Chain A
Amino acid sequence: MNEALLRALIPAVTGVLVRRGADFATAEDAVQEALIQALARWPDDPPTDPKGWLITVAWRKFLDESRSENSRQAREVRVDAEPPPGPAAETDDTLRLYFLCAHPSLSPTSAVALTLRAVGGLTTRQIAEAYLVPESTLAQRISRAKRTVAGVRFGESGDLATVLRVLYLVFNEGYGGEIDLAEEAIRLTRQITSITDNEEASGLLALMLLHHARRAARTTAGGALVPLAEQDRSQWDVPLIAEGVAILQAALARDRLGEYQAQAAIAALHADAPTAGETDWVQIVEWYDELLRLTDSPVVRLNRAVAVGEADGPAAGLAALEPVDPTVPRYAAVRAYLHEKAGDVALAAGLYADAARAATNVAERDHLLRQAARLNDALRP
């Protein structure tokens, strides 16, 4: 059994413990310890029933912990009164655990950390490494998050939108270290789609798959960013695109459009184009219009201006940029791009240099600096 399959069992196992009367914080610690033991022992001595093994070991760890807390009697009484968990309850438990870890009372940062540990089964060290913070800081973040949700009843129905938002953040942000956060986000989103039957969950999964499919083409060997138009499309992962498109189509067919489905639709249109020149920008603009209706976000407005620039020419793009708030990240970069397309190379070069100064990550800064350098180079007599 590989580690991902093992970790897929985590929420159900934690759910069983909580259902048997364990409090969430202690149950989560117990499952984490059982997981570490499993990773050490299973390679030489694999169990016939992995989940049963995890439940037994985690439960024992939980009892040890409870005894040391001197509350054994009260807990054991409660355990006797609990009905045995059935398969339907396990599915519900998994979803409840997601709701708890992405509870609206948690900040996004805390929700991300708690989800990766309690649902994803990652260790505190792995999560700390992925977000470049000291392990002790991350451990504190998780225990504070657990305290915040301590009063939340486990059965309480939650908000799927906050769960999806957390998974989106895991996919989109963070450094990684030994853990591939994008893969982890995809794994968890798959699990959510399999237990919720929700269009937006499917939309998010499709969005992730379609972007993940471009991964190999997105950077050079030296780590420099390659813009979409210049990516070597033969490096795109075709099966992943096919899967993303199929999931998206099934979601769209249910006619309950949401923001992730619309974003995935845009990614699918890019995936559809054999070359950048063959991109169906008119349809992409229409999807941005849908997105604007759904979100009215300044970032969407900004990206829409790029699409309009491609569909109707740079002058139209610049007009679409007019109402956008200039403090939106990447505003200067988009303006530079549209002015370059409009033929105003000197203005574009200056704007790219401005954009580089405003960039919030080094890869993007270097990319924009390179764009400015390229145009200044072309301007030299």
Chain B
Amino acid sequence: MAKYLILKHYRGGPAPVVDYPPMDQWAPEMVDAHVRFMVDFAARLETTGEFVEHQALLPEGTFVRHGGEGKPPVTDGPFAETKDLIAGWLMIDVDSYERAVEIAGEYSAAPGPDGEPICEWLELRPLYSAAPTVQE
């Protein structure tokens, strides 16, 4: 088994293939359909035994670093124009890279304002695994 993180981005990644407006511009029942797809998707992965976790992030964050001995931390941001902004993730535990790609592809087919898949770009990132016990 191997764990993969499927990252959703508010912004960033390759140019979108389907052009659609922000969700507050959709018809309310299309918003409902999109939300339902997301919920059902996670539930389905639970039944296949491949779901690990699912989290969503607020759009605004802050950069923080150590400020020096005895000094408060230094913060920067939030940056309204950050090029790449992560919206959340779905973590899965699957048998193969191929299966991970398959799941990410299905996940990207969430319905958009016209009910057609939005085909958003999702970033698939493998997690480092535990070191194997058998070494030779």
Given A223-B39, A224-B35, check contact A369 B58 (CB 8 Å): no
Is A377 a contact partner of B28 (Cβ separation < 8 A)? Answer: yes
B76 at the interface (CB under 8 A from A): no
Is A362 a contact partner of B56 (Cβ separation < 8 A)? Answer: yes
**CA–CA, A356 and B22, complex, Å:** 12
Given A222-B36, A223-B39, check contact A366 B24 (CB 8 Å): no
Is B58 a contact partner of A353 (Cβ separation < 8 A)? Answer: no
Set A224, A356, A359: member contacting B32, Cβ < 8 A: A224
**CA–CA, A365 and B35, complex, Å:** 11
Is A377 a contact partner of B27 (Cβ separation < 8 A)? Answer: yes
Interface string of B24-36 (1 = CB under 8 A from A): 1111101110011
Is A370 a contact partner of B28 (Cβ separation < 8 A)? Answer: yes
Given A222-B36, A222-B39, A366-B35, check contact A373 B58 (CB 8 Å): no
Write out the residue numbers on chain B whose beta carbons fall within 8 Å of the beta carbon of A357: 58-60
Write out the residue numbers on chain B whose beta carbons fall within 8 Å of the beta carbon of A359: 58
Write out the residue numbers on chain B whose beta carbons fall within 8 Å of the beta carbon of A223: 39
**CA–CA, A359 and B24, complex, Å:** 14
Q: Which residues of A from 45 to 72 have beta carbons under 8 Å from B?
A: none
How close is A133's CB to chain B, nearest CB, in angstroms? Answer: 12
B23 at the interface (CB under 8 A from A): yes
Name which residue of chain B comes closest to A349, CB basis.
B24
Name which residue of chain A comes closest to B58, CB basis.
A360
Is A373 a contact partner of B24 (Cβ separation < 8 A)? Answer: yes
Set B22, B31, B59: member contacting A370, Cβ < 8 A: B31
Is B32 a contact partner of A369 (Cβ separation < 8 A)? Answer: no
Q: Which residues of A from 192 to 228 have beta carbons under 8 Å from B?
A: 222-224
**Range of interface residues on chain A?**
20 to 34
**CA–CA, A377 and B25, complex, Å:** 7
Write out the residue numbers on chain B whose beta carbons fall within 8 Å of the beta carbon of A365: 56
Q: Which residues of A from 320 to 360 have beta carbons under 8 Å from B?
A: 349, 352-353, 356-360
**CA–CA, A369 and B33, complex, Å:** 13
A372 at the interface (CB under 8 A from B): yes
Is B35 a contact partner of A373 (Cβ separation < 8 A)? Answer: no
Name which residue of chain A comes closest to B40, CB basis.
A222
Name which residue of chain B comes closest to A223, CB basis.
B39
Is A372 a contact partner of B24 (Cβ separation < 8 A)? Answer: yes
Is A369 a contact partner of B24 (Cβ separation < 8 A)? Answer: yes
Is A353 a contact partner of B39 (Cβ separation < 8 A)? Answer: no
Residues of chain A having any CB pair with chain B under 8 Å: 222-224, 349, 352-353, 356-360, 362, 365-366, 369-370, 372-374, 376-377
Closest 10 CB pairs of A and B: A372-B24, A353-B24, A373-B28, A374-B28, A373-B31, A366-B35, A370-B31, A373-B26, A377-B27, A376-B25
Contacts A356-B24, A366-B31 aside, 10 further interface pairs with beta carbons under 8 A come to A223-B39, A352-B24, A357-B58, A357-B59, A357-B60, A360-B58, A370-B31, A373-B26, A374-B28, A376-B25
18 contacts between A and B (CB under 8 A): A222-B36, A222-B39, A224-B35, A353-B24, A356-B24, A359-B58, A360-B58, A365-B56, A369-B23, A369-B24, A369-B31, A370-B31, A372-B24, A373-B23, A373-B24, A373-B25, A373-B27, A376-B25
